[in-house]
Structure 1
Amino acid sequence: MKDRTMQIFKRFIWSDYSLTLDELSEDFKISNRTIRNEIKEINEFLISHELSEIKTIRNKGMVLTLDQLEKEQLDALIDEKNEFDYLNREERIFDLILAFSLSEQPVFLYQKESEYQISKSTMDEDMRRVRNILLEYGIEVLSIPKQGIVLKGSERTIRTMIYDVINQAIDSLRFLDENASGLSISEIHLFRYIPREVLKQIDHVYHQTISSREDIYRNQLVMFTAVWLSRYLSQELIPSSDWEIWDIDQNTLKTSFVDQLCQTLVVRPPASELNYIVFMLETFSTGSISNSVEWVQAQLLSIQLIQFVEQTTQIPFSKKEESLHEGLYRHMAGLISRVKSEIQILNPLKETVKRYYGNIYFAIEKFAPAIEVITKNELSEDEIAFLTIHFSTSVSAINQELKYTYKAVVVCNHGTATGRLLAEHLKELFNIEVVAVLSTGEMELIKKLDVDLIFSTLSLTYPEKPILVVDPIIKIESRKNIQAFLERNKQFKRLVNNVNDSTELFYEVLDLIKDSGGTISSHIYRNLENAFDKNHLKINKRELQPMLKDVLKPSDILLLEKCSDWESAIRRVAYPLLKENYINESYVQAMIASVNEFGPYIVMGKHLALAHARPEDGVNKLGISVATLAEPVVFGNDANDPVKIIFCLAAVDSFSHLNIMKSLIDLINDETKINRLIDCSNVSDFEAILYEEEERQQK
């Protein structure tokens, strides 16, 4: 049975609902006729072993119904088939690449011919294709007497190639699931070279040092670490001259992870290897922002992307902008690092995301060139699909209007973002309150949660509570099955326990003050916030970001300042914030050091610079200051020099200054307004021009 046939077979085994020809045809990229032939072969296999066959249900699709005894019998048969079936060409090529790069013993082609039971001409064609694949990575395949097949190329590139090839061959690794049945041929061969136990050890250390929860990159981080470990233990090392020495922060989670892993496995890699693996793993982190360059780029790109997608799709993402920006910003930071370092990650839901959220996907694809200006490398379809997932989750949240609810838990091994997407769909479509998103390793927590139902993206059993297996993205065909599942368990339906969120009321009070002719000063804003707190009225303070005019005081505005160079310009614009203790001297030094290290990245638009560093570099309170320059200053940015106006931003977190950043983005795109500000000689005129857009929005 071919690998594709086996994969189709598994879809039927694991699915609790009917499958259609069109759905299978789209998922496997083959015709309906080919699908029918595959199902015919599967049914012949089932009949030969006296098992129930796949049946067609009129107007619904096809389904395979097995009792527990038949499932156990089938599991054993599939394991046997996987082990002894001949490999097809794709499977052989995958095994050859793994053997050449990960085998502990020399690999000779005559041995592989015998192992695969193929002719020399077939092996020659396999090797021709292997060479073409590896040539795309700049890697040569050499045959050396007594050494067998060896790879010639940069060690860093070889490791990236191995990781990439594994990702392309295997959608979702199941090395943690002891009950996972019917492993694919590719998985079986992978575990020959990287044992499942090694992957489990790495994952265990991840659990101890980084997070006990599943996240969108966990499996991939574990796999990349395993590739690194295998190559290092084979003494295929990265020379120090081949890798830029990276300053490892001993407090990072990735450093702790690597340190603990080395202790567990009793290995002592050299500094060049430690520098390499910590840096590479940092790029997998959604919260990895290693410097102030990435910090501000992630901020600006997230805001601009939300605005662009809302304008393109006409979906009001601004309703959920705060939560969307938080997740998107953290994801964007990791994305920038990955794409800059040419690290590719796989999104197993890519095609499904494109199918069901095509309008969002293609809007992000149009915006991609703006991100690529920063990354200097092209965004893959997988990265665009990950960004789409963040938006599609907000779409579900926007559409929610709950009246009653079922309390449930989602079990998903695809990662946190995918689990949340399923959770938002369940809330939107079926009034289900998802209390938690768990991995299979966290099943014990269900006993401690106040839930009645379980929705899982993989086949599993849990006798204590009703369980339904569903796809991560709920398709039209499966909605009836979920509705029927809820109907069977309608005794668990609960009334909604409304928790009053007074955020909208807060805004309404502000509008009343403005309508009656009042001015919303920062003093009134804070007093109102305190009044709500005092009366136990819950408000989402992440949605209450102040506007630019709420933070920028007249004393923070410096006009027609004389500065000899860019460093003195940064010091001058920072002075008001330093004087009022909004920032420490260390923050000023950090801003100057960042420009010295990374260049004039703070020049954001024509004649405009935004001086900043990271919040932890010495920010005490949210603040912003601005200075216009009597004589323009050159920062070294060919496209936007000379700088005529410079802002200094002191941010305390990743969300409280969102409205300020939006105002600055609007200003960056309005060169006429910048010129008007530069010509101002008094603070009142400067404020009137700077705030005119905010004034318009509030009327």
Structure 2
Amino acid sequence: MRSREIDVINLLLNEKKIYAYNELAVSYGISDRLVRYAIEDANVLLESIGASQIEKIRGKGVLLNVDEEEKKRILEYIYLKDDPYQNKSDREVIMFFNILDNSNKILAQDFQELFGVSKSAIDQSMKSIRGWCKEFGIDIVSNNKEGLSLTGSEGYIRLLVNNIINTQIDIQELINEDLERLSNDKFTSILNFLNQADLITIYHDLRKTFSEESLNNELYFLQLSIYFCVWKARYFNQNSIREDDRFIKKYRAEHTELIVDRFLSIFNINNVPGDERNYLDFMVDSLNIQRKQTLPREWVKIQMFMIELIESMSIKRSVAYERDTNLFENLVQHFAALLKRIDENIEIYNPLKNMVKQEYQSIYEDIQASLDELPVFKNRNISESEIAYLCIHFGASEEKLKSMQSEKYRVIIMCGHGLATGELLAQRVKRIYQFDVIGIVGSYEAQATRRMNADFILKTTNVEVDTLPSLQINPMLHQVDKEKIEAFIALNKQHFHSFPKKIEKHDVLEDIIECIFKDNERLNKTLLTEKIGNVLEKHEIHFKKKGYQPMISDVLKDEYIQLNVKAKDWQDVIVQVANPLLKDKVIEPCYVDAMIESVNKFGPYIVISEGVALAHARPEEGVNELGISLVTLDPPIAFNHEDHDPVKLVFCLAAIDDNAHLKMMATIVKLINEEKKIEELVSIKDKEEFKKVLFEFEKN
């Protein structure tokens, strides 16, 4: 791979125009600062051959203004000097994959001859490679007979390989069969290890097999294909995960089994050991590619983190993110996988990272600050790529909330960068152009658009579409893209139709209910919401079907409150706090068993803060209706939690889905951040006084 200064010279020679620094930064996926360094290096090179230098035009950018004769002279020189190994980072990638292979039994001094550089240059590169390895607990050992090799957990060696691939190259180039490569560059080193034919086979097979499911993110398919190729290369080279490997994860799930089974069937791989299967299941699960929305084990805790994150972002940006229920649901699903990746140091590829950081800089910075405030990230590092993905979610929500105008044209967004990116683009074009975005599809779903009754397609990838008029634009919607859209509409508007806007604001209905309920608290809010909603639907006033979300004061009956309870142990606490819900048939006996079994299996994760626990299981494990109960304990009881024992206040949550209980959860989140309020509540002996203090806290 060529050095960046040569790429900059080439670009400026071939495009005789002024380039802004941020344009170059986006083109090369680097910061403005690194662009300036590359330009300085380029000028040093140009000066060394007596050529004109790159001009810096104040307030505009840079320009390389040369005639054809000088252009030819510069090109001749840089192509003669274009050594594939002059880039230090490229050299290090090639060295790493040579060490990983180890079939040549290569030593450090052999690299000097291979690259034609000094011993000190190789020593510096080896230091960098050892640094990569150290992050994963891997060592490089040298033996005169065996050469350089990696030692350590096989699971973490594979993670190290995945991370190097994701951070050192644009992984989308790996499936480009027409890619012209130098014979010894880092792409070749990586593809020789992965086997490009295998990679492309897996990628296309997974896309085809799961195209009808919710697995429609092309980048995730590619990421998965790389994971599988890394596994295949190591496994068939006799590098297996041992029983004592600290990486092993003892779980499997339906959605991981389907994908892993498909991969193994492509190559007729049978009799895979259990530990290897656990590894494959974990890698799939780390990307959170699922056939359906399934709640992770710690779903309640994750929801609490999201409530805190959304509230923090709302305060920082003065945006009512809580009104966007889709944002919450998407973040919960995203965070379940994100935490797995962070805990295991798995780097995920984000091709839009630099564009997102530039276009949504303030959102990006606010997310960084908000994450720093969350206890869950106290000892965790979150990568720029992960923050950029969160930024896409919040950016899409912000655009959505700003969109107050009626829609006009029916548009399909076709995106190859994932649903979150498609949603971001959808909300931007809706706000700017008054479009009714009726669907977001992957680039492989072109034929499905025939049935979608749209006017045209806005696509972010260069894919042929013959079903509807289509226009390719950048997902970040730059000024040039806006101009392209306006020209496209002007050219094709005679083929488009206007459609009336539907009222889809559930908040309107909720406000009506609150107004009625204010003067008559005996009314059933849920039933009233359904009845008024049906009347409005009858008159073709349409609302999003979002269930009513009660507060604790709406659900917590007197008999569900038990004060100063004495219990034998934490199991007895769960039984006692659940009993009132059991008597009212809010839950089944199996729900109590599931709560206890979950703690026995996974530890005291239900202890959510100092002295407070939130007992729960999954909705499908025995919940009949939404409910909540609580106990205060005297004396407090140990749940064997490392930091938050003993427990003195316990809630029991019976959730019917992942949405209806969120207002109750928001109250609990606020409560656990108020230690004095918790102390006040557990000291109260009278039930009426307890209700008054709790409900006033919730109301305020």
TM range (shorter): 0.7 to 0.9
Of the candidates 252, 255, 258, which is equivalent to residue 256 of structure 1? 258
- Distance in structure 2 (CA, Å) of the matches to 1:14 and 1:219: 32
Superposition pairs for residues 335-350 of structure 1, below 5 Å? 335-350=338-353
For the structure 1 residues 509 and 362, does the alpha-carbon distance in structure 2 shift closer, same or farther, using more than 3 Å as the test?
same
**When the two structures are aligned, how many residues end up with a matched partner?**
664
Could you tell me whether the CA contact under 8 Å between 1:216 and 1:418 is conserved in 2?
Answer: no
Tell me if the contact between 1:455 and 1:469 (Cα under 8 Å) persists in the aligned partners: yes
Instruction: Please give the secondary structure, in 1, of the residue aligned with 2:409.
Output: strand
- Distance in 2 (CA, whole Å) between partners of 1:33 and 1:23 is 15
Relative distance call for 1:461 and 1:335 in structure 2 (3 A) is: same
Aligned counterpart, 1:405 = 408
SS in 1 for 2:462: coil
Name the counterpart of 2:68: none
Q: Could you tell me how far 1:473 is from its partner in structure 2? A: 1.5
User: Is the contact between residue 587 and residue 622 of structure 2 (CA under 8 Å) also seen in structure 1?
Assistant: yes
Distance 1:96 1:453, change over 3 A: farther
Deviation at 1:441, TM superposition (A): 2.7
Change beyond 3 A, Cα 1:429–1:148: same
Q: Is the Cα contact below 8 Å between 1:3 and 1:185 reproduced in 2?
A: no
Bigger mean CA deviation after superposition, 325-334 or 579-588: 579-588
Decide whether the 8 Å contact of 1:336 with 1:375 is kept in 2. no
Moved more, 665-674 or 171-180: 171-180
CA contact (8 A) 1:162 1:227 kept: yes
Task: Compute the displacement of 1:133 (Å).
Answer: 4.2
Q: Which residue of 2 aligns with 1:221?
A: 224
Cα shift at 1:348: 2.7
After superposition, residues 511-550 of structure 1 pair within 5 angstroms as 511-514=514-517, 517-519=519-521, 521=523, 523-533=524-534, 536=537, 538-542=542-546, 544-550=548-554
Q: Is the 8 A contact 1:340 1:376 kept in 2?
A: no
Partner Cα separation in structure 2 for residue 543 and residue 336 of structure 1: 28
Task: Tell me: CA distance 1:219–1:272, structure 2 relative to 1, closer, same or farther (3 Å).
Answer: same
Aligned to 1:306: 310
**Equivalences for 1:370-389 in 2 at 5 Å?**
370-371=373-374, 373=376, 376-389=379-392
CA distance in structure 2 between the aligned counterparts of 1:424 and 1:215, rounded to whole angstroms: 21
Match of 2:190 in 1: 190
1:272 lines up with 2:275 in the alignment: yes
> Is the aligned partner of 1:20 residue 2:36?
no
Other-structure match for 2:170: 171
Q: 1:566 to 1:111 in 2, by over 3 A?
A: closer
Structure 1 residue 596: deviation in Å? 2.8
Name the counterpart of 2:431. 428
Q: Which region of structure 1 is more displaced relative to structure 2, 178-187 or 606-615? A: 178-187
Q: Read off the aligned partner of 1:191 and give its amino acid letter.
A: L
| SS of equivalent residue, structure 1 residue 587 | helix
Q: Deviations over 1:287-338 (max 9, x none)?
A: 6999875212211000110001111121221221x11110011111111222
> Aligned partners of 1:311, 1:630: CA distance in 2, in Å?
38
Query: Which of 646, 654, 674 in structure 1 is aligned with 2:658?
Result: 654
* Counterpart-to-counterpart distance in 2, 1:245 and 1:157: 10
- The corresponding residue for 1:53 is none
Following superposition of structure 1 onto structure 2, how do residues 44-63 of structure 1 map, counting pairs within 5 Å? none
Q: 1:674 aligns with which of 672, 678, 682?
A: 678
Q: 5+ unaligned residues in a row in structure 2: which ranges?
A: 47-55, 64-74
The answer (yes or no) to whether the contact 1:292–1:613 under 8 Å persists in 2 is no
Deviation readout 1:486-534 (Å, 9 max, x if unpaired): 333333443233223362442232233145x22164x243134134236
Q: Distance in 2 between matches of 1:40 and 1:488?
A: 48
Do 1:102 and 1:231's aligned partners in 2 also have CA atoms closer than 8 Å? Answer: no
Do the aligned partners of residues 570 and 132 (structure 1) sit closer, same or farther apart at CA in structure 2, a change above 3 Å counting?
closer
> Structure 2: how far apart are the matches of 1:374 and 1:40?
44
Q: Match for residue 157 of structure 1?
A: 156
Contact 1:217 1:285 in 2 (8 A): no
Per the alignment, residue 86 of structure 1 pairs with 84
Paired residue type of 1:584: E
SS at structure 2 position matched to 1:489: helix
Q: Is the 8 A contact 2:286 2:337 kept in 1?
A: yes
Instruction: Evaluate the alpha carbon distance shift between residue 511 and residue 269 of structure 1 in structure 2; reply closer, same or farther with a 3 A threshold.
Output: closer
The aligned counterpart of 1:609 is 613
User: TM-score if structure 2 supplies the norm length?
Assistant: 0.83
Aligned AA (1:157): Y
Structure 2 vs 1, CA of residues 115 and 289 (structure 1 numbering), >3 Å: closer, same or farther? Answer: farther
Q: What's the offset of the Cα at 1:405?
A: 2.7
Aligned partners of 1:242 and 1:638: how far apart in 2?
A: 25
Cα distance change, pair 299–463 in 1 and its aligned pair in 2 (3 A) = closer
In structure 2, give the amino acid aligned to 1:663: T
AA aligned opposite 1:424:
Q
Q: Distance in 1 between matches of 2:468 and 2:557?
A: 58
Per the TM alignment, residue 236 of structure 1 is displaced from its structure 2 partner at its CA by 0.9
Quick one: distance in 1 between partners of 2:235 and 2:280? 11
Q: 1:317 aligns with which of 318, 321, 331?
A: 321
**CA 1:417 to 1:174, structure 2 compared with 1: closer, same or farther past 3 Å?**
farther
Aligned ranges 1:110-149 → 2 under 5 Å: 126-127=125-126, 129-145=128-144, 147-149=146-148
Question: 1:672 and 1:611, CA in 2 relative to 1: closer, same or farther beyond 3 A?
Answer: same
Structure 1 counterpart of 2:157, one-letter code:
I
Distance 2:600 2:233 in 1: 38
Instruction: Read off the aligned partner of 2:527 and give its amino acid letter.
Output: R
Q: 1:124 to 1:452 in 2, by over 3 A?
A: same
Tell me whether 121-130 or 146-155 shows the greater mean CA deviation.
Answer: 121-130
8 Å CA contact 1:217–1:284 kept in 2: the answer is yes
Q: CA RMSD in A?
A: 4.0
- Aligned equivalents of 2:650, 2:421: Cα separation in 1: 41
**What is the CA deviation profile of residues 166-201 of structure 1, one whole-angstrom value per residue up to 9, with x for unaligned ones?**
111123424556677889954444222212221133
Query: Contact between 2:510 and 2:529, CA under 8 Å: does it hold in 1?
Result: no
Structure 1 residues 621 and 543: CA distance shift in structure 2, 3 A: closer
8 Å CA contact retained: 1:215, 1:416: no
Pick from 596, 603, 610: which aligns with 2:600? 596
Deviation per CA, 1:59-115: give whole Å up to 9, x if none. Answer: 99999xxxxxxxxxxxxx9xxx99x96343332322222233257665577887776
Say whether the 8 Å CA contact 1:292–1:614 is kept in structure 2.
no
Q: Tell me the equivalent position of 1:201.
A: 201
d(CA) in 1 for partners of 2:473 and 2:10?
A: 14
| SS of alignment partner, residue 627 of structure 1 | strand
Cα distance in 2 between the residues matched to 1:186 and 1:259 = 31
Q: Secondary structure at the match of 1:451?
A: coil
Three-state SS of the structure 2 residue aligned to 1:236 is coil
**Distance change >3 Å, CA 93–CA 177, structure 1 → 2:** closer
Alignment-mate amino acid for residue 194 of structure 1 = L
Percent of aligned pairs with the same residue? 30
Q: 1:458 aligns with which of 457, 461, 483?
A: 461
How far apart, CA to CA, are the structure 2 residues paired with 1:41 and 1:427? 47
For 2:353 and 2:153, how far apart are their aligned partners in 1?
A: 30
Change (3 A) 1:294 1:342: farther
Which residue type is aligned with residue 224 of structure 2?
L
Q: Which has the higher contact order (CA 8 A, sep 6+)?
A: 1
Shift of 1:146: 5.7
CA–CA separation in structure 1 for the residues paired with 2:218 and 2:691: 45
- d(CA) in 2 for partners of 1:92 and 1:654? 49
Cα deviations by residue, 1:578-602 (Å, 9 ceiling, x for unpaired): 1222222222122222333343332
Q: CA deviation at 1:8?
A: 6.1
1:224-243 correspondence to structure 2 within 5 Å: 224-243=227-246
Report the CA distance between 1:144 and its aligned residue. Answer: 4.1
TM-score, structure 1 normalization: 0.83
